[in-house]
Structure 1
Amino acid sequence: MTRLGLGPVGVTLDVRADGGHLEDAVLLEHLGYATLWIAGGQLATLDPLRDVVLATERIRVGSAIIPARVHPPEDVVAFRRDLEATAPGRLITGLGGVQGGRPLHTMNAYLDQLDAADPPVPPGARVLAALGPRMLELSRDRAAGALALLVTPEFTANARAALGEEAALVVMEYVVVETDPRRARDAVREPVGFLSRVGGYPENLRRMGFTDEDLAETSDRLIDGVVAWGDVDAVAARVRRHLAAGADQVVLAVRPTGPDSVPRAEWRALAAALG
């Protein structure tokens, strides 16, 4: 289905100043996750991507996303060229962060420079953050596919129809392994609340049927619609709904609820449940 050849389940990795995330990367590779993704807010430099690739053996590493407003095309080209020399085929170049007026024009111009570089960053090695119909079309036409966050399985089905059968669709899902509704929702309310007010997220949430009141309050209805929470079986069932709706990979952004700031127990349990 996809030019990227992704496995069905990936996972996000939080970068830590003490370097402990590199040990976590090794653990996640050992547990069988298909891809490690590093969020764009942690990519003030692109070094964390290189460090994780070099700390692991085979697992692919994706940027989710490299913010175009921070890193010019020539930096992305040089970074990928150097990494390909030592670890070919390991990096998935996720791009986005073109906020403000004329985002499609801005992204097209950015991609033009990636295409014209020597060597280029080829379309088959990159994905675009995409929520709206036109950005999904751009992801289909000028990249290997799309990367989406804060979406429902119904969105996934519609995005698959827009992308066609050849483009990749990567769905990132906040996950809380917790059966108590209050604790589960509280664990994820802050990041969901922040994102639901920035960039293209508010418009897309409204397209999916959420109201202005849902967004203003970060309502329970909003969280239940875009977050996988509950016991391991409930989370696994939600992941399978996205896969059945057309996602090539579901990326687990696991939020801990207990005293441990790194959700290693949850990673292990979900890896076992999702095979």
Structure 2
Amino acid sequence: MNTPHHSAPQHAAGPYGIFSHELRSEGPAQHDELLDAAAELEELGFGAIWLGGSSSVRHAALLAGATERVVLATGILNIWYETADTVARQRAELEGAHPDRFLLGLGASHAQLAQNYRRPYSTMVEYLDGLDAAATPVPAERRVLAALGPRMLRLARDRAAGAHPYLVTPEYIERARGVLGEGPLLAPEVTVVLESEPAKAREVARGFIEYYLQLPNYAANLERLGFSEDDLTGGGTDRLVDALVVWGTDEAIRARLAEFHAAGADHLALQIITGDGGDTPPRAQWRHLADIVGLGPKSGA
């Protein structure tokens, strides 16, 4: 059994990071914008950039040259899309060029999204075996798992630096910390809507979470937390929306994020949802969020 947890805090990257689907774009027209946005996030003081969607090592490598110290993480690399040998080789190349900058977030995705989906837990175990056995192994302390259920959380505890769960609540964090124990990294994605008007905030939030509520893995996790099938219908009840998405005044957002830390999270991967459907990085909102959580440009950086 691997025991990587003594090294995990180096990848906590402070209390806050940014989770972004936009920064994993491969469109040539956005190349310069993505590099500039990543550099600004580092300057703002966010400790990590989590590349959302089915991201890969190459997406992180694209941003590595434009930044100096921020941790670049996949949130998540889909284990059905790339072999363990390929990922280990790519990760070794990135590590050689930019040491101690990359954290490999791995996930088994969902049956609705992965063509060859089967036995997700057993396949994840086999994938970790492959990373260990590769010519250039990926150390356990340099990988985290997109764990939700207790079984995958235990695997994240035993064979990775920790867990990177998605669409969870502070109550979930408390339970997950109980499974993981005190050592492993717990770095959840947390969705934020910078809107204080309740109807508008919930409309944006509901438009985002409705898709995920139809995926059995998320639905089952929410039911374990005490939400009913009725809570999950129609984009979610107000109770569910308010539990899953952080919104409100700056003070309310700050207080809600503090609940995640108090429940046992080491690091929050903050995902801004604007509701406009655009792919452009929400840089003005990221600046606002940095102010809310007390970050700011690093002097002399």
Could you say whether these structures have the same fold, taking a TM-score greater than 0.5 normalized by the shorter chain as the test?
yes
Deviations 1:195-232 (A, max 9, x none): 12225111001111111122221222221111101122
Determine the C-alpha separation between the residues in 2 that align with 1:217 and 1:258.
20
Amino acid at match of 2:61: R
Task: Answer yes or no: is the 8 Å Cα contact 2:108–2:124 preserved in 1.
Answer: no
Q: Which residue of 2 aligns with 1:252?
A: 270
The partner residue of 1:125 within 142, 151, 160 is 142
Q: CA deviation at 1:258?
A: 7.0
Determine the C-alpha separation between the residues in 2 that align with 1:57 and 1:129.
26
Amino acid at match of 1:132: G
Task: Answer yes or no: is the 8 Å Cα contact 2:191–2:272 preserved in 1.
Answer: yes
Q: Which residue of 2 aligns with 1:222?
A: 240
Q: CA deviation at 1:182?
A: 2.0
Q: Bigger shift: 205-214 or 264-273?
A: 264-273
Determine the C-alpha separation between the residues in 1 that align with 2:215 and 2:60.
25
Alignment of 1:141-152 (within 5 A): 141-152=158-169
Determine the C-alpha separation between the residues in 2 that align with 1:259 and 1:108.
36
Alignment of 1:186-265 (within 5 A): 186-219=203-236, 220-256=238-274, 261-265=280-284
Q: Percent of aligned pairs with the same residue?
A: 40
The partner residue of 2:96 within 85, 97, 100 is 85
Alignment of 1:158-169 (within 5 A): 158-169=175-186
Q: CA RMSD in A?
A: 1.8
Amino acid at match of 1:272: D
1:269 is aligned to 2:288:
yes
Q: Which residue of 2 aligns with 1:28?
A: 41
Q: CA deviation at 1:40?
A: 2.6
The partner residue of 2:69 within 58, 75, 82 is 58
The partner residue of 2:196 within 179, 184, 198 is 179
Determine the C-alpha separation between the residues in 1 that align with 2:253 and 2:34.
24
Task: Answer yes or no: is the 8 Å Cα contact 1:229–1:235 preserved in 2.
Answer: yes
Amino acid at match of 1:36: I
Q: Bigger shift: 53-62 or 254-263?
A: 254-263
Determine the C-alpha separation between the residues in 1 that align with 2:208 and 2:217.
15
Task: Answer yes or no: is the 8 Å Cα contact 1:98–1:106 preserved in 2.
Answer: no
Q: Bigger shift: 105-114 or 251-260?
A: 251-260
Secondary structure of the structure 1 residue equivalent to 2:232: helix
Q: CA deviation at 1:101?
A: 4.0
Secondary structure of the structure 1 residue equivalent to 2:100: coil
Amino acid at match of 1:130: A
Q: CA deviation at 1:259?
A: 10
Determine the C-alpha separation between the residues in 2 that align with 1:204 and 1:90.
31
Q: Post-superposition, which runs of at least 4 consecutive aligned residues in structure 1 deviate over 6 A?
A: none
Q: CA deviation at 1:98?
A: 4.9
Amino acid at match of 1:274: V
Q: CA deviation at 1:272?
A: 2.1
The partner residue of 1:138 within 150, 155, 159 is 155
Q: Bigger shift: 73-82 or 189-198?
A: 189-198
Determine the C-alpha separation between the residues in 2 that align with 1:69 and 1:262.
27
Instruction: State the aligned residue count.
Output: 273
Residues 92 and 196 (structure 1), Cα distance of their counterparts in 2 relative to 1, 3 Å cut: same
Task: Answer yes or no: is the 8 Å Cα contact 2:57–2:91 preserved in 1.
Answer: no
Secondary structure of the structure 2 residue equivalent to 1:119: coil
Task: Answer yes or no: is the 8 Å Cα contact 2:208–2:273 preserved in 1.
Answer: no
Determine the C-alpha separation between the residues in 2 that align with 1:264 and 1:49.
19
Q: CA deviation at 1:140?
A: 0.1
Amino acid at match of 2:165: A
Q: CA deviation at 1:75?
A: 1.5
Q: Bigger shift: 80-89 or 189-198?
A: 189-198
1:9 is aligned to 2:20:
no
Residues 138 and 227 (structure 1), Cα distance of their counterparts in 2 relative to 1, 3 Å cut: same
Query: If each structure's strand is expressed as a fraction of its own residues, which one has the higher value?
Result: 1
Amino acid at match of 2:283: R
TM-score, normalised with respect to structure 1? 0.94
Deviations 1:175-195 (A, max 9, x none): 001011222122232331111
Determine the C-alpha separation between the residues in 1 that align with 2:109 and 2:47.
27
Determine the C-alpha separation between the residues in 2 that align with 1:179 and 1:110.
43
Residues 11 and 129 (structure 1), Cα distance of their counterparts in 2 relative to 1, 3 Å cut: same
Q: Which residue of 2 aligns with 1:67?
A: 78
